Structure 1
Amino acid sequence: MTTKLKIGWHREHFLSPLLQFADKDKNETFEPVECPGGTGEMQVKLKNGEIDLCIALTDALIAGLANGQNSYKLVGRYIASPLRWAIITGRDSKYNSVDDLKGTTFGISRLGSGSQVMASVLSLNEGWTEEEQPKFKVNGQFKPLRDSVNSGETSVFLWEWFTTKPYVDSGEVRFIGSVYTPWPCWHIAASPSASSQKIQTFLESLQPYVQNFNSEKAREKEDIDFVTSYFGHQREDVIEWLKTVKWEEEILQVKESVVRETLRVLAKAGVVKLEAEKLDIDTFVNTEVARIV
């Protein structure tokens, strides 16, 4: 009996091509493993051997590798465009602008997660001093993060804009700003103990679903119908989101320039050590699977 690959994913509309592939595959060759805690949870599951591969946030994956994690390497690229992170506070909180957040406690899903990395990038962008740097409170999943800004335990948390918008529309939380990643926002990572051949075969099979979802034709109706049906987002929000996002046409590649630029910004934001910029590219990429371009 062939062992199925276990694929970590987070419930976000960006993962629609994977979900379409999973629907067609019917659990024959791979098993999707939902990770509500996002990239941080996927990193833990990779370390514990609970998943073989994940599609996750570029910055958190690269930061983990630069900081010594060895339970995965990059095996491909996924989204070519930046990610818009919303800055989210409680419905009745006293915080009304980014400037109000200096020195306050930000909620994050896990240490090293995208929600923490992007808080550091926000601080860098704003030019906050050492005294003004955010503190961090680990709250785990999306619901406890929302609860924490409403209870006043934290000032804000950062999460993907369109995933959060329904909770803003309902009045549960408020947006007070946003920050974009200075890098293509999603990559694919896999455990070194997983078969390189199996990983490659899986990615080759996923690629047509990614290419189709990225096509102009699918964007006109098919993509909108899928995302509204599966995730329950408003059609106008999905139409707006599709204008901002682009998938990679060739996923079995990793751009060295993207890795280097991400490391440069992460080092400047204090997320990784300055010497991490000089690490060999093989530290980050499994070249048995992905081609470095």
Structure 2
Amino acid sequence: MPLRIGYVREHFSSPLLQFAEADGGKTFTLVECPSGTGQLIGRLEKDEIDVAIALTDPLISGIAKGSTAYKLVGSYVTTPLNWAVITGKDAPYNSIADLKGTTIGISRYGSGSQTMAYVMALQQGWPTNELQFKVNNDIRGLIDSVNDGSTSAFMWEWFTTKPFVDAGECRFIGSVPTPWPSWLIAAHPTRAPTSELKPFLDTLSTYVRAFDAPEKRAADDVAFIKDKFGYPEEDIKAWLKTVGYPQTCAEIPRQVILDTLDVLHKAGFVQRPEGGFDVGLFVNTDIASLV
């Protein structure tokens, strides 16, 4: 049975989409999760997917909070994610500082939109235990929420949100880049066998390296993203200048896990156990190398 790969259909997924087109469903099928990483983790828990390509911070915090539905098996994007802070088109908020004490929209509890709200609060010096959230599922629900006033703002990836801002549906009032590389790969410990997962990661690595090549970035990548996502060329080129991919997907830097846990602990999102975190508990080392 082909591996079920959960993903978010955004420009970051382009190498995965290219691999899927070539594979034709023989070794894996894609399962779209438009609500983001919170939905991906939920689907891993419910046996709806076997593998998730998802945001670093919710994956790591989920394991830190005791989830046994997955372990980390690889890296996907090595650069930070630029989270835009977005408010309603007529909302009274004009800067991140204006959001103190208000209700922030999130897609789901445990999602990147929630963990990054903690990071934003940490940067602003706000008490993180006083943060208030409202769940709005996906970007459509989040935009509706900031415009009907039930939330003050939400956080979502900059270029994914930009078309809505350009259309006048909402406004950017700031951004918060992640203090860690943005995307990792996780898999259920038994439903994604090593014999299938290792070849998947090895071949994904070849598509990632091809997409990351300078000559592809100059033309082919732009054309692919424009065709698949309809973004303006200038936005695609601007994004390509900011993104980096690993040479091999089956490696995870130990420091990425430690640094992410350190920030999430300082933000009050995870609690450090006595004696500190054991990085080995976060990774399936039969699949991925800790480097």
When normalised by structure 1's length, the TM-score is 0.97
Deviation at 1:54, TM superposition (A): 1.0
Does the 8 Å CA contact 1:53/1:191 hold for their aligned counterparts? yes
Closer, same or farther: CA 22–268 of 1 in aligned 2, 3 Å: same
Which of 219, 233, 250 is 2:248 aligned to?
250
Report the equivalent of 2:185.
188
Q: Which residue of 1 aligns with 2:69?
A: 71
Q: Where in structure 1 do 4 or more consecutive aligned residues deviate above 6 Å?
A: none
Say which of 50, 53, 56 aligns to 1:55.
53
Cα drift, residue 275 of structure 1: 2.1
Equivalent runs, 1:96-245 vs 2, <5 Å? 96-129=94-127, 133-193=130-190, 194-245=192-243
Offset, 1:235: 0.4
What is the letter of the counterpart of residue 229 of structure 2? Answer: F
Structure 2: 5+ residue stretches without partners: none
Deviation at 1:280? 1.6
CA distance in 2 between counterparts of 1:265 and 1:196 reads: 31
- Counterpart contact for 1:197–1:289, Cα < 8 Å: no
* Contact 1:252/1:289 (8 A) holds in 2: yes
CA distance in 2, matches of 1:87, 1:139: 15
CA distance in structure 2 between the aligned counterparts of 1:130 and 1:31, rounded to whole angstroms? 39
CA contact (8 A) 2:55 2:182 kept: yes
Number of residues of Structure 1 aligned to a counterpart in Structure 2: 290
Q: Deviations over 1:96-150 (max 9, x none)?
A: 111110010000011010000000000001111368x431011111110110000
Q: Secondary structure at the match of 1:62?
A: helix
Tell me, what secondary structure is at the counterpart of 1:27? coil
Question: What code does the residue aligned with 1:49 have?
Answer: D
Does residue 39 (structure 1) correspond to residue 40 (structure 2)? The answer is no
TM-score by length of 2: 0.98
Uncovered stretches (5+) of structure 1, i.e. residues with no partner: none
Q: 1:61 is paired with a residue of what secondary structure?
A: helix
1:282: how far off?
2.2
Q: CA RMSD in A?
A: 1.1
* Residues 290 and 128 of structure 1: CA distance in aligned 2, closer, same or farther (over 3 Å): same
Return the offset for 1:158.
0.2
In structure 2, how many angstroms separate the alpha carbons of the residues matched to 1:56 and 1:250? 17
Per the alignment, residue 16 of structure 2 pairs with 18
CA distance in 2, matches of 1:142, 1:32: 20
Output the amino acid matched with 2:32.
Answer: E
